[in-house]
Structure formats: C-alpha cells, structure tokens
Amino acid sequence: MTMTAPETDAATGIRINDLTPFIGAELTGVTYRDLQDSGLWEQVSTLLHERELVVIRSLDITPEQQIELASRIGRPKPFLMAKYRHPEHEEIMISSNAKKNNMAIGVARVGNFWHQDSSYQNDAPPYTMLHGVDVPGTSGHTLYANAADVYDRLPQEWKERIEGRTAIHTVSKRQRISEKHAGLSIAEFKALVEEEYPPVRHPLVKTDPTTGRRYVYGAPEYMERVIGFDANENEEFFALLNELIQDPAHVYEHRWTPRDLVIWKCELTYHAATAVAPGVDRTVHRVSIEARDPWAA
C-alpha cells in the first residue's frame, strides 16, 4: 500500500489525503450536505474499501444523520445490550465514561486492547462507524493497524506455518464481570461465558475481496489457540503477532477532534482505545454495520 498525493477541490475546499502509507484516508472540509453528492460518497466508499479506514474530520451530524450514513454502507445493527443503546436510536451504542444524575450513560471502558471487532462471533458485522460527540484532544486516542500489513511483515517461515490453519476465537479473555455473575466461582463464570458466547472457528489467513491482499484474521486477546499448534507454538505465534500489530512504525494514532467520523473495515483493522485522563469525559456514538451482501473474504 503506497501513499497517494493529497487532493484539494478548489470549488469546495474539500481535501483528501492518506493518513499513513499503511492504513487510512482523511477528508477535511466536508459537511453532511456535501456527502449527499453521489460522487463524493463514492470516493468515501472507495477509500474505505481500499485504505481500510476513513476519517472525516469535524463532521457535524445528528444521530439520525449518522444512521443514514451508515445505511449507505450496509445495515445498521442494534447494539446487543439495550441499556447502553441511545435512548432514541437502538442502532447507536453510547461509549462514554460520563454520568447523568450519577448514572452511567454508556459503556465506560470499551476496546482498550488490540482486537478486530467481534471476531468471537460467527458472522461479525464487517464495518464500524464512530462519531466523536464529546472527545478530549489530550487522551482517549484510538490506535489502528492494518491486518494485511501485519501479514506482509510475517517472516516467510510463519506464513508457511499458518497457511490453511484455523483459529478458535473466544470472548472469554475479555468478558466483563457484571452483577449477574456475583457469587459464581471462576469455573462457573467461565462456563457461563462459553454458554453465552460459544467459541467459534475462523480461517487464520483470509483474502480481502477488494484489494486481493491476504491478512491475518485474529488478535491474541480474542483467540484461544490455533488448531494444530501445541502450547509453545501458540504462545510463540501470539507473541509475534502482538509485536507486529503494536509496532509503532506501523500504527496510526487517531487523536480525536470534536465531531470526527471514523469508519473502518472490521476484519482488516486492528485497533485499541487508549486511556482517558482522570476527570475527563469522553462520549462516542458507535454503529455496527452489517453487509447487505455476504462478506466474501
């Protein structure tokens, strides 16, 4: 993946540029009205599918408009946990550490580890869209890495060792403990998690249908093991994978500015949220987007 020259539309002032050589494109000077232009939206869609991640800076939109934009990509999917949905829009999950009347208005600590969204599901939504409603500029950043770039950087030996392999994905390493788990033993808690979210199997190496690039599907925090590897091989592979994903030279750090809209392809995009400074509120609206057609990777 190579950088392309920045483009600026003299008539509208809209600027489009690549964020890094390995992932991401950025649009500035865009309004919701601009996005009604089919030509501009086609550019956004193309960038999403070729660059894996699209950032539209300072896009002032309502929740309804966010859902409308998500609907152009696929089908917005209501968040599983009803208590963290937007009170008027079930398609929006509120990610927030803020409180109202001393009550949490959303999920406070979300995605603070490297992962690909919902890979522990059989049919995970292929796209995610975030809108920065109230975001600090000094903390609460989001880190991104490209799963195809990770595959490219694997030593040839490991490419050969994982070829044709299947990995078992699970939420058990990252399942949150809630009130309903009070009094359970560790064994009972693990059994309940596996009953609610049974482990699933996915090919470890997949091919992106748009770019034709191969990528690693799986992050150590959402994988139990690679089938056919012994314990030492799994530990060695997971350590290598973490090293490649988190290599600073291949990570894009998104420092949020107010009302940024960020969209990514879930299978191709590893990401992690960084900590929010004490005493600082952060609220982001998240929409998971199902494909209209089967994800053909």
Show pLDDT as tens, one digit a residue, over the chain (297 residues): 777 768 887 678 899 999 999 999 999 999 999 999 999 999 999 999 999 999 999 999 999 999 999 999 999 998 766 667 888 889 999 999 998 888 888 888 778 899 999 998 998 999 999 999 999 999 999 999 999 999 999 999 999 999 999 999 998 765 555 555 555 565 665 666 666 778 999 999 999 999 999 999 999 999 999 999 999 999 999 999 999 999 999 999 999 999 999 999 999 999 999 999 999 999 999 999 998 764 443
Q: Which position has the token pair 């056919």?
A: 228
Give the whole-angstrom CA distance, residue 270 versus residue 104: 27
> 113: buried, middle or exposed (CB in 10 Å: 19+, 13-18, 0-12)?
middle
For the question of whether the overall pTM of this predicted structure is more than 0.95, the answer is no
Reference 59, options 111, 161, 130; nearest CA is 130
279 CB-near residues (< 8 Å, 6+ apart): none
